Amino acid sequence: MSLKGMGPRKDAIKVEHYKRASVRLYDVATAPKDNEVLVNTAKKTQDYVQKGSRILDREGILHITGNGPSCSRVVTVAEVLKKKYKKPGLKQNTKIKYIKTEDIWEPTKEGLDVLKVVKQTPAISITLETPSKSS
């Protein structure tokens, strides 16, 4: 079978014919707590480690959270902090879940339907607690 002469279909629906109308997030915390570090890929890992270290010294409990591509960085920050605080009795609690997002795309051309795209993004939350503050 030859593919020569086969180009894009003339009746194909293109992304240019849609615009994003809204994004709906489910099960997402709105504002970080005082003892929480929200990790993303914009900053260096060392910045999160320093911030987490200050919170862990001050509060005794630290929540490190992130989703999507920053999940591995959350684990790295927690492991560096665990290595730094070699105290016996340091507790770790890890929660893994998926965050559901819905993207609504409205057509810019007549005759096309509204598209609803549902995505599941992985998320992780690691809690570190020092023995002095644990109950």
Give pLDDT tens digits for 10-53: 666 667 788 888 777 766 555 567 889 999 989 999 999 999 99
Which pLDDT does position 18 carry in this prediction? 83
The helix/strand/coil state of 23 is strand
Radius of gyration of the chain (CA): 22
Residue 107: name the closest of 24, 13, 2 by CA.
13
Distance CA 70, CA 38 (A): 10
DSSP structure string for 58-79: HHSEEEEEEEGGGHHHHHHHHH
Distance CA 89, CA 72 (A): 24
The helix/strand/coil state of 38 is strand
Global pTM value:
0.74
Distance CA 103, CA 14 (A): 16
